[in-house]
Amino acid sequence: MNRTEERLRAATRAAARTVPDGGAPPLRLPAGPPPAPAGRYRPPRSGWRRAMAPVAAAAAVTAVVGVSVAVTHLHGRLAGTTTAPAAALASVPPYVVYLEGLPYAPNTAVVRSSVTGRVIATIAPPRPYRMFDMVSAIGAGDRQFVLMAQRFRPVTGPGGAANQRFDNRTPGAFFTLTVSRDGTSARLAVLPAGRSGHAVRAAHAQDVFAVAGSPDGRKLALGLHDTGGSWIRVATLASGASRTWRWAAPGWVGEDKPEWQPLSWRDDSRTLAFQAHTGLSGGGPLEIGLLDTDGPGRTLAAARVVLRIAGVHARVELMNVLLTGDGREIIASVQTVPSSPVAPQAIETSVRVYSARTGRLLRVLDRRLITGPGVSNEEVWGNVLWVSRTGSSMVLLDPARHAPHQRAGWPVLGVLTGNAFIPMPFASPVAWEYAW
């Protein structure tokens, strides 16, 4: 499944839940040619916009499918929902920025208070750009973010083929977004070039699968892939200099879920955690590596592999895998298909905490079995969007919880701390990128 398809699913799965049963006529598609033989699984690479036409049909089908699930808590730490949010919300950075809008269409960056839910600013990409594609926090002050924008042309209509070629080749431009000290406004500015005169840029925006700003605000890590492979580039913003580490083994770096975040920094702004799929097919193992960005080496073989997880795509789906700021733990949002399902449609979800030194599983949080007709095509994905320095607090996007201000059936944003889940004070938007 390519980048366009995944983002369309991410955006339409929430909208689908607002359509009542029988609220739309059946979709009838013309018969097509028989499917081609299955090829080797590949990550999203160049040409990801080419699947827009069949995906549009798939999105139309998704839009008339309701979601119904039942949740069973399994052994492990139970996280109940509470309405006493003050301490938990205060443990999260005060501002969140998310990209709101349908995928592959003009969108906006929304700045919001994590504590009150108040919208501070809604910012559109400056001309000639029409779409923000990535967002990441940067620096330790909790007020600055980096966004990547790109030009965009719709791929529907008579000029669709030419627009696809344009979108596949358009460059990515980087901007900083800074929240004012009093938290009442936000300002967008071009990310300045370094002393050498070189600015951080991406020759093709569609090659960038991740952006991660360092905690000290001095570095920007980019994950990239194209038909030649995948690599990580780290730019030093003051000088404009950059280093690149190629993935030289079978597989690729990054996730095949483009709305998620496969890169995370330790607080030292030197150690960068990344995901790598080491198999040649969808069932290959996943590795979590720690790269010393100030150390020697030109390939990602220089990184220390701290965790290997087998069965990815076959029975296990991982979303974000984040390194805590103190460098001691790795937090992963995991979904598995039980080996002996207790129901025809069932997915087990949990948050797993691993040692970043040994890779040993330390504890499992919020482990649940989700069953029901809504559990199809993995439409109940949750995720860990942010973790605190010690891992004691984290922000989850949870598809099976409820909150008074949240429309029924929509995933709920909230803070997991101790044994309590505290919903964010605003309804979850239609968005695929979040940053705290």
8 Å CB contact between 138 and 214: yes
Enter the tokens of residue 207: 């090659």
Per-residue pLDDT at 406 exceeds 90 = no
Tell me which of 94 and 204 has the higher pLDDT: 94
**How many other CB atoms sit within 10 Å of the CB of residue 26?**
6
What mean pLDDT comes out for the span 281-302?
A: 88
pLDDT at 199: 79
Banded model confidence at residue 404, pLDDT cuts 50, 70, 90: confident
Per-residue pLDDT at 299 exceeds 80 = yes
Enter the tokens of residue 202: 């991406």
Q: E-strand spans in 13-150?
A: 70-73, 80-81, 95-100, 108-113, 119-123, 131-137, 144-150
Enter the tokens of residue 340: 């002996």
pLDDT at 92: 95
pLDDT at 71: 53
Tell me which of 267 and 105 has the higher pLDDT: 267
Per-residue pLDDT at 81 exceeds 70 = no
pLDDT at 153: 79
What CATH number should be reported for the domain whose range is 3-27+41-435? 2.120.10.30
**How many other CB atoms sit within 10 Å of the CB of residue 84?**
8
Distance, in Å, from the CA atom of 175 to the CA atom of 178, rounded to the nearest integer, reads: 10
Nearest to 137 by CA among 315, 318, 264: 264
The string of pLDDT tens digits covering residues 205-238 is: 888 999 999 999 999 999 998 888 899 999 999 9
What mean pLDDT comes out for the span 393-416?
A: 81
8 Å CB contact between 32 and 58: no
8 Å CB contact between 219 and 213: yes
pLDDT at 313: 64
Nearest to 272 by CA among 280, 283, 281, 264: 264
**Residue 199: how many CA atoms within 13 Å on its side-chain side?**
14
**Residue 327: how many CA atoms within 13 Å on its side-chain side?**
14
Three-state DSSP at 364 gives strand
Q: Which of 183-187, 353-357, 413-417 has the lowest mean pLDDT?
A: 413-417
The string of pLDDT tens digits covering residues 319-369 is: 889 999 999 999 998 888 765 545 556 778 889 999 999 999 999 998 888
Distances (CA, A) of 6 to 3, 76, 424: 5, 30, 25
Give the pairing type, strands 172-179 and 95-100. unpaired
Distance, in Å, from the CA atom of 31 to the CA atom of 62, rounded to the nearest integer, reads: 19
pLDDT at 125: 95
Enter the tokens of residue 133: 């594609």
Distance, in Å, from the CA atom of 47 to the CA atom of 207, rounded to the nearest integer, reads: 10
8 Å CB contact between 292 and 300: no
Distances (CA, A) of 415 to 51, 79, 112, 265, 395: 36, 10, 15, 21, 5
DSSP one-letter string for 229-257: EEEEEEEETTT--EEEEE--SSSEES-S-
Enter the tokens of residue 306: 């701290």
